[in-house]
């Protein structure tokens, strides 16, 4: 009798909602490229069901989970040990199970920085940077951005208390200036403008003053879509030198998670090309 091979290792993405996620495709392409045997599934869980879903996946032999909106802070609370990046962000997007251990990492920031500085060839050091938004994604990118040495880092959020909270949280890591949303139209253009809000997700226009953009501005939308996003359209309409979407960050943060889980780093360039084609 031929012995059956052991089942492939199980990974997945846990969020709410998750049905439109590209992560299964990305991880399948990584696995094929690097010769790894694994499955990657989508798990929809509400905030009330988050912990039960994580523990059930682990108990069933799952090896690791990516975590997305709205669970990144809950994942941080649940993890027994966390990486420096997750600790700074107080948010976890990658959980790794090993026996009783439950480790949390945050790969959003490194994925973002890699896309901006390597794929897009945009240096951060010495440049003025504005982040719009103060949710989990903004927190994830803040640490790596500060480490990259911008001349100025400003943060503006519709709900100013959330921006103030982040500024306080990152005080020990560098200077971040909170900007009230209502004062955005009094500022000079920034070298780099990052949209880390979910504004415009439903197709409505980006709610920011065009004066933030100058002819040398590089604009980065964390949001990604098969069509131009409202932020990218807004940035181009106001004369930005370049405006790009967050596909690269999506692939790079996934590659970081894959590396944590499998110990091998996929080559992201062909995967990114295949994804946006
Ligand atoms: P989140 O924690 O829910 O935060 C949402 C943010 O958007 C908050 O700052 C919120 O402001 C702001 N916002 C929502 N609607 C707005 C509006 N109409 N006008 C102005 N601000 C508005 O979400 P998140 O995890 O930070 O994610 C933010 C975006 O980044 C999402 O679209 C997500 O898909 C994207 N993302 C992309 C990647 C990638 O790999 N490319 C990775 C992570 C996240 P308030 O605080 O005032 O509500």
The residue assigned the tokens 């971040």 is 176
Q: Which of 186, 207, 190 is nearest to 198 (CA)?
A: 207
Please report how the helices 136-147 and 160-169 are oriented relative to each other, as an axis angle in degrees rounded to 10. 40
Which pLDDT score is estimated for 100? Answer: 75
- Full-prediction pTM beyond 0.85? yes
Q: Which of 94, 196, 231 to mutate to test the pocket of ligand 1 (most atoms within 8 A of CB)?
A: 196
Six-digit token string for 45: 């869980």
In contact, 84 and 135? CB cutoff 8 Å: no
Distance 102 CA to ligand 1 centre (A): 27
- Please tell me if the CB atom of residue 205 comes closer than 6 angstroms to any atom of ligand 1: no
Q: Where does 122-245 sit in CATH, by number? A: 3.40.50.720
C-beta of 137 in contact with ligand 1 (< 6 A):
yes
> For residues 180 and 231, what is the distance between their CA atoms, to the nearest angstrom?
19
For atom 15 of ligand 1, the residue with the nearest CA is 199
> How many whole angstroms from 71 Cα to the centroid of ligand 1?
13
60 burial type by CB count under 10 A (0-12 exposed, 13-18 middle, 19+ buried): exposed
> Are 38 and 11 within 8 A, CB to CB?
yes
Q: How far is the CA of 197 from the centre of ligand 1 (A)?
A: 3
pLDDT for the residue numbered 174:
86
Which positions are catalytic?
72
Residue 254 CA, closest ligand 1 atom number = 40
Residue ranges of E strands in the chain: 9-15, 38-44, 64-67, 81-82, 94-98, 101-105, 128-132, 152-157, 177-180, 190-195, 213-221, 242-244
Distance 18 CA to ligand 1 centre (A): 15
Q: Beta-carbon neighbour count of residue 217 at 10 Å?
A: 21
Tens digit of each residue's pLDDT, the chain (277 residues): 555 578 999 999 999 999 989 999 999 999 999 999 999 999 999 999 999 999 999 999 999 999 998 999 999 999 999 999 999 999 999 999 987 789 999 999 999 999 999 999 999 999 999 999 998 899 999 999 999 999 999 999 999 999 999 999 998 888 899 999 999 999 999 999 999 998 866 767 778 999 999 999 999 999 999 899 999 999 999 999 999 999 999 999 999 999 999 999 999 999 999 998 7
* 60 phi and psi angles, rounded to 5 deg: -85, 5
Q: Given this chain, do its domains 9-106+249-276 and 122-245 carry the same CATH topology? A: yes
Closest residue by Cα to atom 3, ligand 1, is 135
- Report the SS3 class of residue 43: strand
CATH class of 9-106+249-276: alpha beta
Q: Give domain limits for the chain.
A: 9-106+249-276, 122-245
Query: What is the position in ligand 1's atom list of the atom closest to the CA of 139?
Result: 26
CA angle (67, 33, 60) in 5-degree steps: 40
The predicted structure's pLDDT at residue 4: 58
Closest CA to 57 of 36, 69, 40, 37: 40
Task: Annotate 124-146 with b (16+ C-beta within 10 A) or e (fewer).
Answer: beebbbbbbbbbbbbbbbbbbbb
- The upper half-sphere exposure of residue 212, i.e. CA atoms within 13 Å in the direction of its Cβ, equals 29
Helix (H) or strand (E) holding 34: helix 23-34
∠ Cα 60 61 62 (to 5°): 100
Task: State how far the Cα of 53 lies from the Cα of 46, in Å rounded to an integer.
Answer: 9
């Amino acid at each position: 009798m031929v012995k059956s091979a052991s089942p492939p290792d199980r990974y997945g993405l846990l969020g709410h909602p998750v049905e439109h996620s590209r992560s299964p495709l990305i991880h399948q392409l990584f696995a094929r490229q690097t010769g790894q045997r694994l499955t990657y599934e989508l798990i929809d869980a509400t905030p009330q069901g988050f912990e039960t879903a994580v523990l059930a996946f682990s108990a069933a032999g799952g090896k690791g989970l990516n975590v997305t909106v709205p669970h990144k802070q809950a994942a941080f609370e649940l993890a027994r040990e966390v990486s420096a990046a997750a600790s700074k962000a107080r948010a976890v997007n990658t959980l790794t199970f090993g026996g009783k251990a439950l480790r949390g990492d945050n790969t959003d920031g490194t994925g973002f920085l890699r896309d901006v500085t390597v794929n897009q060839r945009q240096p951060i050091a010495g440049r003025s940077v504005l982040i719009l938004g103060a949710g989990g994604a903004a927190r994830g990118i803040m640490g790596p951005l500060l480490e990259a040495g911008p001349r100025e880092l400003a943060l503006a959020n519709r709900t100013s208390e959330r921006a103030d909270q982040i500024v306080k949280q990152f005080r020990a890591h560098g200077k971040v200036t909170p900007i009230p949303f209502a004062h955005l139209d009094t500022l000079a253009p920034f070298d780099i403008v990052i949209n880390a809000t979910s504004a415009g997700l439903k197709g409505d226009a980006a709610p920011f003053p065009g004066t933030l953009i100058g002819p040398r501005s590089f604009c980065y939308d964390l949001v990604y879509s098969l069509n131009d996003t409202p932020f990218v359209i807004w940035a181009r309409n106001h004369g930005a030198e370049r405006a790009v979407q967050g596909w690269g960050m999506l692939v790079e943060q996934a590659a970081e998670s894959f590396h944590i889980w499998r110990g091998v780093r996929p080559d992201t360039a062909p995967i990114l090309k295949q994804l946006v084609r």
